């Protein structure tokens, strides 16, 4: 979508040999290999500094940000595709990823005539090769991902030269439709906070009570009573105390906890069995 300026710079700063050009063109996803009209977007949530963050990327010359996205290969399932796209963009494995909604309004992706104009300036084989990605109507299957903030090193690729963790409470300007996707993803994780291992995936392995409480407060956007919160966690038996303490200073050192993954999984399984 925003590939052209990058190539333009390259073609100005140095002449591209035919061989190099061929190489580049080979790397560009071809229309033939992908389901047409279908896109996948990932809303990647991370948590840092008591803020819930969303991974946004952009091409540096443009003002609008967008969510990591990609297309479905003709020979892969949509869940596979979503995972592949996520890995391509973030470089992490073992990430919680879940489909939550498909968007497909007709007017969701308006014609970007500015972009279309830029296409003409590119070396010959490129515009045709990526024309299927622009000025087309896409139906977009959305997934949300929960990642441990520190583990993510977003990758730069053809479609992005910049990335940022945006605070969900203060999103930057996003391209058409992407903001709504974030809002719906947020609604979804709020609803699923009690069923899905949201905390487990957003926090590091060891964490303090106040850290997990702050996470819940951030997601739900409201203050929780500390004593009741602890009581609930204890009654659910999903926490395991460790021997370690975090020494921050200035006050009593908080105990570090781990998740009791078994109990967490069991709780989810019960929910599952209840339904059947």
Partner DNA sequence: GCAAAAGTGTTCTGTGTACACCCATGC
Partner DNA sequence: GCATGGGTGTACACAGAACACTTTTGC
Helix 209-220 and helix 226-236, axial crossing angle in degrees, nearest 10: 100
Residues 186 and 14: their CA atoms lie apart, in Å, by 45
Residue 78 binds a copy of itself (CB under 8 A) = yes
Sign (positive or negative) of CA dihedral 170, 203, 103, 2: positive
Size of the site for a copy of itself (CB under 8 A): 27
Residue 231 binds a copy of itself (CB under 8 A) = no
Residue 74 binds a copy of itself (CB under 8 A) = yes
Query: Contacting a copy of itself (CB under 8 A), which of 22, 48, 50, 137?
Result: 137
Structure token digits, residue 223: 């203050």
DSSP bridge pairs for 258: 240
Name, in order, each residue with C-beta under 8 angstroms of 176's C-beta and a sequence gap of 6 or more: 108, 109, 110
Longest dimension (CA), the chain: 68
Which positions lie near DNA, rule CB under 7 A? 208-210, 225-228, 230-232, 235, 245, 247, 249-255
Decide which of DNA, a copy of itself, none touches 106; Cβ closer than 5 to 8 Å per partner kind: a copy of itself
Residue 125 binds a copy of itself (CB under 8 A) = no
Residue 139 binds a copy of itself (CB under 8 A) = yes
Residue 187 binds a copy of itself (CB under 8 A) = yes
Instruction: Name the DSSP letter for residue 168.
Output: G
Nearest to 246 by CA among 199, 212, 196, 271: 212
Which residue stretch of 25-33, 35-43, 88-96, 250-258 sits at the interface with a copy of itself (rule: CB under 8 A)?
35-43
Query: Contacting a copy of itself (CB under 8 A), which of 49, 102, 111, 113?
Result: 102
Residues 14/46, Cβ–Cβ less than 8 Å: no
Given the rule CB under 8 A, which residues bind a copy of itself?
35-38, 72, 74-79, 81, 99, 101-106, 137, 139, 141, 187, 190-191, 275-276
């Amino acid at each position: 979508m925003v590939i052209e300026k990058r190539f333009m710079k390259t073609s100005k700063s140095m002449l591209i040999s035919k061989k190099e050009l061929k190489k580049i063109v080979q790397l560009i996803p071809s229309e033939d290999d992908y389901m047409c009209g279908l896109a996948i977007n990932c809303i990647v949530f991370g948590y840092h500094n008591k803020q819930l963050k969303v991974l946004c990327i952009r091409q540096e010359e443009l003002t609008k940000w967008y969510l990591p996205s990609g297309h479905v290969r003709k020979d892969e399932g949509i869940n596979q595709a979503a995972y592949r796209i996520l890995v391509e963009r973030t470089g992490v494995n073992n990430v919680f990823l879940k489909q939550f909604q498909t968007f497909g309004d007709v007017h969701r992706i308006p014609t970007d005539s500015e972009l279309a104009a830029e296409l003409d300036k590119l070396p010959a084989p490129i515009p045709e090769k990526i024309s299927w990605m622009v000025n087309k109507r896409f139906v977009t299957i959305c997934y949300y991902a929960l990642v441990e903030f520190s583990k993510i090193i977003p990758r730069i690729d053809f479609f992005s030269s910049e990335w940022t963790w945006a605070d969900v409470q203060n999103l930057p300007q996003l391209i058409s439709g992407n903001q709504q996707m974030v809002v719906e993803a947020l609604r979804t994780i709020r609803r699923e906070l009690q069923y899905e291992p949201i905390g487990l995936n957003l926090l590091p392995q060891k964490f303090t009570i106040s850290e997990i409480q702050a996470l819940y407060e951030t997601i739900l956007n409201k203050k929780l009573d500390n004593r009741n919160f602890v009581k609930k966690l204890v009654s659910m038996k999903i926490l395991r105390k460790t021997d370690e303490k975090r020494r921050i200073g200035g006050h009593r050192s908080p105990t570090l906890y781990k998740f009791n993954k078994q109990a967490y999984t069991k709780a989810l399984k019960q929910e599952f069995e209840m339904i059947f």
